[in-house]
Amino acid sequence: MIKRFQIFLGPQRFRAFVALFGITGLLSLILNVIVNQYEWVTTVQTILVLGFLLGAGYLILGRLPVEERKRWLSIILPAVLAVVVGSILFPQVTGLFIGAGLGWIVAGIFIFNSFGAPQEYKTAIKAMRKQDYEKATAAMTRSIQQEPKNLNYYRFRAELFRLWRKLKHARRDYQKMTEIDKTSAIAYNGLAEVELQAGNYQQAIAAAKTAYDLAPDEWVAVYNLGMIEDRLQDSELALEHLHQALQLKIPDSRHRLLVHLYRARAYMRRDEFDAAQAALADMKREKAGLEEWLVIMTADEARALRDVLEGDVKLADKLINEQEDLHVLVGKVRA
């Protein structure tokens, strides 16, 4: 559970959360010692709890898509309001309101998790976490039988098959998505990723190009295309699309890290050492992304990612920590 939370938040936000929790707990403990000596202690404790709730809310909500933010706001806001109302109207029993607020957060997580997702979907997620991919895919198959046009169900089952390393089944689900919706860039991106995982670079590039044609302004499509072109050693096109991906404002550090790695490799293949050095400098500014990858790669659910990206992450780690120099990108080992 803690590892999943760490992966979700990312290293920097996770450290901030731990620091916030520790500071709040330590100061509250200190205040408990003198609680009977000063009237202002209860007010300060209330402010500390509010600060923790608001800080934690900011750290969590910042990592969520819009719809998920709404769910978490529904969980966090009542807790904050309970503490505020209690401290203003009934200061003598503020502790009860703080307890009620924290209790609502715990209860709200379970209450809101019970809505919005079909039972089979929840069953699949629980089975996935136990690495029971047979049970997980069977649950999603039942969902698909009930809603045979639901692209999200095919996509999730395909991702489960990728974790299970049943790539033929995953490919079939992505292909089915393209039949249901020929304009789905997500389907073609998924198809490109499964072909890349299988080592079928020509099929991967074909799917990636289609995804790019459908969504040229989506960084994921451009990034995937540049990554596959790097695998095919097509340096000119790789650089063109990797630069385009950066211009589209890749939101997370870990993908920017890999873009700079692929740029450096393309420049080295073209004997443009100064440009490769500049790309390496850009990569070193994304150390937070490297930390994220190193945590993510330890997760059971990252099996498909390890198949495709583990070598790149290890190489980036060595370059950033100066255990290798840029010549390793073109197959030359440092003396």
Cβ 206 vs Cβ 222: under 8 Å: no
Predicted pLDDT at 225: 96
Do 66 and 122 lie in one domain? The reply is no
Give a yes or no: residue 141 inside a domain: yes
Q: Which domain holds residue 131?
A: 118-165
Do 17 and 88 lie in one domain? The reply is yes
Q: Which of 77, 93, 113 is the last residue of a domain?
A: 113
Do 283 and 256 lie in one domain? The reply is yes
* Residue with the two structure tokens 């490769």: 276
Give a yes or no: residue 225 inside a domain: no
Cβ 207 vs Cβ 192: under 8 Å: yes
Query: What is the total count of domains within the chain?
Result: 3
Give a yes or no: residue 210 inside a domain: no
What is residue 10's three-state secondary structure?
Answer: coil
Do 54 and 156 lie in one domain? The reply is no
Distance CA 67, CA 57 (A): 15
Predicted pLDDT at 334: 44
Cβ 30 vs Cβ 55: under 8 Å: no
Q: Which of 46, 78, 113 is the last residue of a domain?
A: 113
Do 103 and 37 lie in one domain? The reply is yes
Give a yes or no: residue 60 inside a domain: yes
Do 90 and 48 lie in one domain? The reply is yes
Predicted pLDDT at 115: 46
Predicted pLDDT at 105: 53
Do 262 and 303 lie in one domain? The reply is yes
Give a yes or no: residue 218 inside a domain: no
Do 303 and 330 lie in one domain? The reply is yes
Do 48 and 132 lie in one domain? The reply is no
Per-residue pLDDT of the chain (335 residues; tens, 9 = 90+): 565 566 566 667 777 877 877 787 777 666 666 555 556 666 666 677 667 777 777 777 676 665 566 666 666 666 666 656 655 555 554 455 455 555 555 555 444 454 455 788 888 888 988 889 999 999 999 999 999 999 999 999 999 999 999 999 999 999 999 999 999 999 999 999 999 999 999 999 999 999 999 999 999 999 999 999 999 999 999 999 999 999 999 988 999 999 999 999 999 999 999 999 999 999 999 998 998 898 888 887 788 889 999 999 999 999 999 998 999 998 754 43
Give a yes or no: residue 235 inside a domain: no
Stated pTM of the model: 0.72
Cβ 274 vs Cβ 263: under 8 Å: no
Return the number of other C-beta atoms located less than 10 Å from residue 181's C-beta: 12
Q: Which of 104, 137, 165 is the last residue of a domain?
A: 165
Cβ 244 vs Cβ 222: under 8 Å: yes
Do 15 and 107 lie in one domain? The reply is yes
Give a yes or no: residue 201 inside a domain: no
Do 101 and 124 lie in one domain? The reply is no
Predicted pLDDT at 103: 55
Give a yes or no: residue 58 inside a domain: yes
Cβ 208 vs Cβ 224: under 8 Å: yes
Do 10 and 102 lie in one domain? The reply is yes
Q: What is the 3-state secondary structure (H, E, C) of 44-72?
A: HHHHHHHHHHHHHHHHHHCCCCHHHHHHH
